[in-house]
């Protein structure tokens, strides 16, 4: 792919991520293009529809997590924080899909997420940081619970709420 085409694709992914975080998944393609500063034609050269863009956003986030996890993870709290932030995006993506005309639920994204969770989860179990009976599905559930509306916590920001929630959960899943 040409360098400018790759740059445009990255701008679309960044815009898609930001809008999904800020406004949810039901954002018109025009708004995504406006934020990315590209044309609709450029959007459709890279993505068949919004669902394809959102899948690319999730792939991008998963790849970023894989890169971070390539280094030895000593703190399962860091691992859970990465996944909780990604699950916020994933849940907004899932919430938007049924409203999209091109909705498809093939379960591929969830299978990829589970695949990324397995190795660091096993390492945390081996290190005695997490109970042996915790599964990748449990980690996804925990991250979804943690990613729910942070304003319920009555704190100054979502990152503070996320840290507090994850600390409480780590006490619960520790051996």
CATH code: domain of residue 114 = 1.10.357.10
CA 164 to chain centroid: 19
What's the pLDDT tens digit per position in 38-55? 999 999 999 998 888 988
What's the pLDDT tens digit per position in 91-148? 777 776 655 555 555 555 678 888 888 888 888 888 888 889 989 888 888 777 776 6
> Would you say residue 18 lies in a domain?
no
What pLDDT, on a 0 to 100 scale, did the predictor assign at position 105? Answer: 54
> Would you say residue 74 lies in a domain?
yes
Q: Where in the sequence is the domain holding 158, given as residue range(s)? A: 50-173
What is the rounded average pLDDT for all residues in the chain?
A: 79
What would the two tokens of residue 72 be? 């030895």
> Would you say residue 141 lies in a domain?
yes
> Would you say residue 33 lies in a domain?
no
> Would you say residue 29 lies in a domain?
no
What pLDDT, on a 0 to 100 scale, did the predictor assign at position 131? Answer: 85
> Would you say residue 40 lies in a domain?
no
Q: How many independent structural domains does the chain possess?
A: 1
Q: Which residue has the higher pLDDT, 8 or 85?
A: 8
> Would you say residue 105 lies in a domain?
yes
> Would you say residue 64 lies in a domain?
yes
């Amino acid at each position: 792919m040409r360098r400018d085409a790759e740059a445009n694709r990255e701008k679309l992914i960044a815009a898609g991520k930001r809008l999904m975080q800020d406004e949810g998944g039901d954002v018109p393609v025009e708004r995504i293009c406006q934020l990315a500063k590209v044309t609709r034609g450029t959007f459709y050269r890279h993505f068949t529809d919004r669902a394809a863009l959102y899948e690319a956003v999730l792939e991008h986030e998963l790849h970023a997590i894989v890169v971070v996890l390539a280094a030895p993870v000593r703190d399962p709290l860091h691992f859970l924080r990465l996944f909780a932030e990604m699950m916020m995006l994933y849940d907004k993506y899932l919430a938007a899909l049924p409203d999209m005309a091109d909705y498809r639920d093939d379960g591929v994204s969830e299978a990829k997420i589970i695949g990324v969770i397995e190795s660091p989860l096993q390492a945390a179990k081996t290190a005695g940081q997490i109970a042996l009976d915790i599964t990748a599905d449990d980690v996804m559930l925990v991250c979804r619970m943690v990613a729910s509306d942070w304003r319920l916590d009555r704190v100054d920001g979502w990152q503070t709420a996320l840290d507090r929630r994850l600390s409480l959960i780590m006490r619960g899943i520790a051996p």
